[in-house]
A and B are shown apart, each in its own frame.
Chain A
Amino acid sequence: MSVSSIASVAESVRSGSVSAANLLDEHLGRIAAREDEIHAFNLVTTETAREQAAAVDTAVARGDDPGPLAGVTVALKDNMCTRGIPTTCSSRILDGWTPPYDATVVERLRAAGAVMVGKTNLDEFAMGSSTENSAFGVTRNPRDTSRVAGGSSGGSAAAVAAGFSHVSLGSDTGGSIRQPAALCGVVGVKPTYGYVSRFGLVAYASSLDQIGPFATSVEDAARVLDVIGGHDPNDSTSIPQERPSLVEALGHDVAGLRIGRITDLPEGAEPDVLERLEAAFDALRAAGATIVDVQVPALTYGLSAYYVIAPAEASSNLARFDGVRYGLRVDASDTNSMYGATRAAGFGDEVKRRIMLGTYALSAGYYDAYYGKALKVRRLIHDDFDRAYQKADVLLTPTSPSVAFPIGSKGDNPLAMYLVDVYTIATNLAGHPGMSVPYGSGADGLPVGVQVLAGTLQEPTMFRVGAALERSMS
């Protein structure tokens, strides 16, 4: 697995001492050796990757600067549109569809000189926490292949953990970057809502979705976010203001920062996970930070509110997959039957479950009782967090209640699966940033992640704390 920072990788490529083509071959070699076992990818884009690497090397030879991520290999969650390359969302419903355009994040990565190695596996339409809901089979955890990689961005987390790419992108609607990062032992960041453009990200729940990076270090994650973040005229929810460089923020230590401990954190975390969380508090205290107690009472209602709001938005967003314009079509005697037959064949069980939940929550007579109520809870969660952030600069929690669980162990019980997002989900409801930093190992020697949460656009502080945690482990 690659240990050099992507800054030094890009520097060697820009100076001509290492070629992007060689770096790519190294990664393709690792993919060839282990991808059959891991299944991180829906598609390895060998040909376009070679073209991109050659373009970077040609630019260097010409004396042009290929960009700050020159030759850095990146894997993309397969719900981000790539021009001329199939984008499946790990669903049969998009069979045969190839986007005619690139997502903004894809354009920005390419402009920075990154080389895309493939499209990674996910829970269908990002609905799930184990990547077991993919139409194309489960992704296995590179640290223990009998375990899940987490989800929904399990393929992107596994790709970085297995050394298939330097970094990767995922999307996080309720924990889908942070939880797989924790389970695979890598860094995963969900930025503030609107920090990164969502243009070209196939929508699941639009008021919660956000794109972010996976990396083997906090610094690498900061560098990727510095490249992909910022306003995009094609996404009116992307934040128009200037952002400070996150890489520069890493230069500051945590002395004097107030680290919040949530005293009314919902129960359910395993003892090995809580032990690592305590170690993280100790390390930050030793680095000069102060630990303060805070309460976030509405946190306990986060899961319930999420499972009304997210399915409601999903039922609306997924209405477009009707077999008429793109993807799968199952022919039937009339148009209405064709819609039904196409959606019955194209969507998996979890997607159907959420479409039905959402349609019910939005239907006349139930709207106020479910959707209206959930929006009020969302407001309470936001306000509770705001109060906590008056007392603390960041909050520290477990990312996931347990280490990676065995494949198949929660498959028959959707509620048990929903519970694994208990510590990540409220962040999305509040629109706040959060990151998971690997912090040692728990049961069976598997990785444990500690989650750093911060208020709106407080990424610089969040990254400082993440970097301090990382330093304390080295």
Chain B
Amino acid sequence: MSDWELVVGLEVHVELATATKLFSASPNRFGDEPNTNIDPVTLGLPGALPVLNGHAVELAMRIGLALNCTVQPCTFHR
């Protein structure tokens, strides 16, 4: 066992307090009636396109900077 080196990675999930969902303009509200906070995007209807929540990205960058990480530029291509 002494030949083994222990490497531990942490994946931490945090519920973000954004007003809307990550990829749609529907309310990000827990405890509501099922199938009420929905729209063509959340339903995956033909023709619907996801739009990334800008505030969620800001929060992610903020925690990245707070933890002294480097924020990488990134583009959605289509």
B48 surroundings in chain A (CB, below 8 A):
101, 199-200
A101 surroundings in chain B (CB, below 8 A):
40, 45, 47-48
Query: Nearest chain B CB to A337's CB is how many angstroms away?
Result: 22
A89 to B47, CA, bound (A): 11
| CB-based contact B49/A199 at 8 Å | yes
B1 at the interface (CB under 8 A from A): no
A-B contact pairs, 16 of them (CB 8 A): A81-B40, A81-B46, A97-B46, A99-B45, A99-B46, A100-B40, A100-B45, A101-B47, A199-B48, A202-B46, A236-B76, A237-B76, A237-B78, A313-B78, A320-B44, A325-B44
Which of A207, A234, A235, A326 is within 8 Å of B46, CB to CB? A326
B40 surroundings in chain A (CB, below 8 A):
81, 99-101
B13 at the interface (CB under 8 A from A): no
| CB-based contact B46/A198 at 8 Å | no
A313 to B77, CA, bound (A): 12
B52 at the interface (CB under 8 A from A): yes
A19 to B41, CA, bound (A): 38
A199 surroundings in chain B (CB, below 8 A):
47-49
| CB-based contact B51/A207 at 8 Å | no
- Give the bracket for the number of chain A residues in contact with chain B: 20 to 34
Chain A interface residues toward B at CB < 8 A: 79-81, 87, 89, 94, 97, 99-101, 103, 198-203, 206-207, 233-237, 313, 320-321, 325-326
A313 to B45, CA, bound (A): 17
| CB-based contact A325/B43 at 8 Å | yes
Which of A80, A206, A237, A326 is within 8 Å of B45, CB to CB? A326
Which of A80, A236, A313, A321 is within 8 Å of B51, CB to CB? A236
A67 to B41, CA, bound (A): 29
A87 to B45, CA, bound (A): 12
Q: Answer whether A234 and B49 are a contact pair too, CB < 8 Å, given A206-B78, A313-B78.
A: yes
A233 surroundings in chain B (CB, below 8 A):
51
Query: Nearest chain B CB to A180's CB is how many angstroms away?
Result: 21
A199 to B41, CA, bound (A): 10
Closest to A199 in B: B49
B76 surroundings in chain A (CB, below 8 A):
236-237
Query: Nearest chain A CB to B67's CB is how many angstroms away?
Result: 27
A329 to B69, CA, bound (A): 49
B46 surroundings in chain A (CB, below 8 A):
81, 87, 89, 94, 97, 99, 202-203, 320-321, 326
A80 surroundings in chain B (CB, below 8 A):
47
B43 surroundings in chain A (CB, below 8 A):
325
Closest to B54 in A: A236
B47 surroundings in chain A (CB, below 8 A):
79-81, 87, 99, 101, 103, 199-203
A2 to B45, CA, bound (A): 37
B3-58, CB < 8 A from A: 40, 43-52
A198 surroundings in chain B (CB, below 8 A):
49
